[in-house]
Amino acid sequence: MTRILGIETSCDETAAAVVEQRTEVLSSIIASSIDLHRAFGGVVPEIAARRHVETIDEVIRRALDEAGCAWDNLDAVAVTCGPGLIGSLLVGVCAAKAIAWQRELPLLAVNHLEGHVRSAFIEHADLEFPVMAMVVSGGHTALYLCPEEHVYRLVAKTRDDAAGEAYDKVAKLLGLGYPGGPVIDRIARDADDRAFDFPRARMKDGSLDFSFSGIKTAVRLAAQREGLERAVGEGDEEQPLLRDMVASFQRAVVDVLVRRTVRACKQESVSNVVVTGGVACNRRLREDFDIAANKHRLDVRFPSPRYTTDNAAMIAAAGFLHLERGRLAPPDLTARANYPL
């Protein structure tokens, strides 16, 4: 039985998990500092890093306790080493290095994006390769072709904002608070998603890349026109025009994400798809992917919400691929804010 301790601190979640035999999640503890950031309308890196320092020991101890796992029963430590907020990443990397050194365990350096891709295989280990993997979160929007389980070829990426960032910015400009995804998901339900015709950016060079900054600006202009900028105070999220506006925004974003993925699958002759990252919680995205899956004969899988947003089980799960291939990190491993997969 191989057991890996995973550690994730790339943004505002301090997370630790113990995973056995690739997919058996014995524990997954997540302590978010999101409440400290809300007043600022986004994650404040310095506050996030300080909170990681305060919380990480306790989170790791709880992950081991809940897994019923003693230090001696661990076979490796996997940690997110990038991309992300550098101060936040360093806390996790230092903790993992200390544990690996003191316990004489292999240290595994996991790319956060690889973690998101592998999150889908915790519950869908049967999915056969090649796979088209979408990572759609607050920091990233990209499609990777995975011919084999440990190979990631970038097929498309965003040229400006990530999709989750667009949700967060639109929510902010309407006064809906932070993070924007869950509240837009909720209030867009059953609203008129054709009330506004927001643009879907296409690349002139025919590439599959994404761009979400134009749609954000279009929503801002529409909100100014309709008198909805920062319209939401306490309790008036339910204004029909506002709900129609966010529903129309969501339709445009989801349309692009689903269509580009279908095109990428056709281009690369792939029919198995995983959709991961915080935005993959979105109800509309899941529904539209289901419709596209039927229409285009694709097998589209999503992780459960607990593995969709940032967590450490996905980091431990990715760690197995490194351990099995003997890809150990050096003892002087450092964190990298920019770290392409």
Enumerate binding residues for Zn ion (CB under 5 A): 137, 310
Rounded distance between C-alpha atoms, residue 45 and residue 43, angstroms? 6
Q: Which of 4, 83, 89 is nearest to 48 (CA)?
A: 89
* Tokens (6 digits) for 253: 């974003």
What is the bridge-based pairing of β-strands 299-301 and 141-146? unpaired
Does residue 288 belong to the site contacting ligand KG4 (CB under 6 A)? no
Q: Which two tokens stand for residue 34?
A: 């999101």
Determine contact, residues 244/251, Cβ cutoff 8 Å: no
CB of 188 to ligand KG4, least distance (A): 9
Q: Total number of residues binding ligand KG4 (CB under 6 A)?
A: 19
Three-state secondary-structure class, residue 157: strand
Cβ distance to Zn ion smaller for residue 209 or 310: 310
Residue number with CB closer to ligand KG4 (183 or 262): 183
CB-nearer residue toward ligand KG4: 69 or 182? 182
Rule CB under 6 A: choose which of 62, 182, 220, 259 binds ligand KG4. Answer: 182
Q: Which of 180, 223, 261, 323 binds ligand KG4 (CB under 6 A)?
A: 180
Site string for ligand KG4, 19-58 (x = CB under 6 A): ----------------------------------------
Q: Closest CB to ligand KG4 among 130 and 179?
A: 179
Write down the least CB distance from residue 118 to Zn ion, Å. Answer: 12
Which of 95, 281 has the CB closer to ligand KG4?
281
| Strand duo 3-8 + 13-20: pairing | antiparallel
Sheet holding 272-276, edge to edge: 153-157, 141-146, 131-136, 272-276, 299-301
Among 139, 244, 323, 335, binds ligand KG4 (CB under 6 A): 139
For residues 64 and 81, give the distance between their C-alpha atoms in angstroms, rounded to a whole number.
21
